[in-house]
Structure 1
Amino acid sequence: MKTLLYIAICLLPLAMSAQRRTPPTKNNMMNTDKLTNETVKKAITALQAGDKNAWYTLFTPGPELFDDGNKIDFKSFSEGALGHERFTSIDKVENNGLDLYGKFHSDKWGDFKTYFKFQLNKEGKISRLEIGQASY
């Protein structure tokens, strides 16, 4: 019995570290060469890196965010997504670089195809972002 307890105690930290996910670093970031809009490219780079400061500076105060057509809180989404969600590939870019389609990973929801559709104001800040599951 003591041996089993000892083994469990020794293996617990190993099991827990295997569950932790590390945000992408510059060395393992997805290729963003398909992104033609500079603001969108910066936003996706910030998302990929889990960089909250860079992410927030690209948006207007109080931007609108819609997830599968439902309006959601931008700040809550950002806090939950950054460092835990990322594109694994960008498959299509449309609408002058403002609409992206690709494969996506969420630590909470798994892997799926998604779209991100950005709207910019006159100053080039993101005022609206539509995200959702895609079928293409």
Structure 2
Amino acid sequence: MTIQTAKLSDPAVRAFVSAVNAHDREAFLALLAPGATMADDGSDRDLDEWTDREIFSSHGHMEVENESRGGRALIARYRNDSWGEMRTRWTFTVDEHGRIARFETGQA
């Protein structure tokens, strides 16, 4: 079962998923706190390089199946042109200004 993006609990996470699915790099970058970081499968990655490769140039798309931690942890079916579809987990750290300071993803 999929949770509609509009029904996700955390506003920053909801905007993140919306920007990914719309392939809206400008909206995506506006959500990130200055100095935001990310990790994939437990290893820190260069955020700009990773998001370009895994989201924007490869048409990434998230279908959220489950949320926890007040909407800051997701299980989603993620697909892109490079890897096809896989079940992934996402966790988000949101700063006091409602911007994403860090996100981590990996296979679920």
* TM-score calculated relative to the size of structure 1: 0.72
**Identical-pair percentage:** 29
CA distance in 2, matches of 1:41, 1:52: 15
CA distance in 1, matches of 2:39, 2:104: 5
CA distance in 2, matches of 1:61, 1:77: 17
- Structure 1: state its 5+ residue gaps: 1-29
Name the residue aligned to 1:48.
Answer: 21
CA distance in 1, matches of 2:7, 2:45: 28
Higher alpha-carbon Rg:
1
Cα RMSD, aligned residues only: 1.4
Code of the residue aligned with 1:41 in structure 2: it is R
CA distance in 2, matches of 1:105, 1:50: 13
Tell whether 2:69 aligns with 1:95: yes
- Structure 2: state its 5+ residue gaps: none
Name the residue aligned to 1:85.
Answer: 60
* Runs ≥4 residues deviating over 3 A: none
Tell whether 2:9 aligns with 1:36: yes
* TM-score calculated relative to the size of structure 2: 0.90
SS at match of 1:96: helix
Structure 1 residue 103, shift from structure 2 partner = 1.0
Deviations 1:61-82 (A, max 9, x none): 2211000100000011122212
Aligned partner of 2:42 among 54, 69, 93: 69
Contact preservation (8 Å) 1:34, 1:90: no
CA distance in 1, matches of 2:27, 2:6: 19
Code of the residue aligned with 2:93 in structure 1: it is Q
CA 38–120 in structure 1, closer or farther in 2 if over 3 Å, else same: same
Name the residue aligned to 1:25.
Answer: none
Code of the residue aligned with 2:5 in structure 1: it is T
SS at match of 1:124: coil
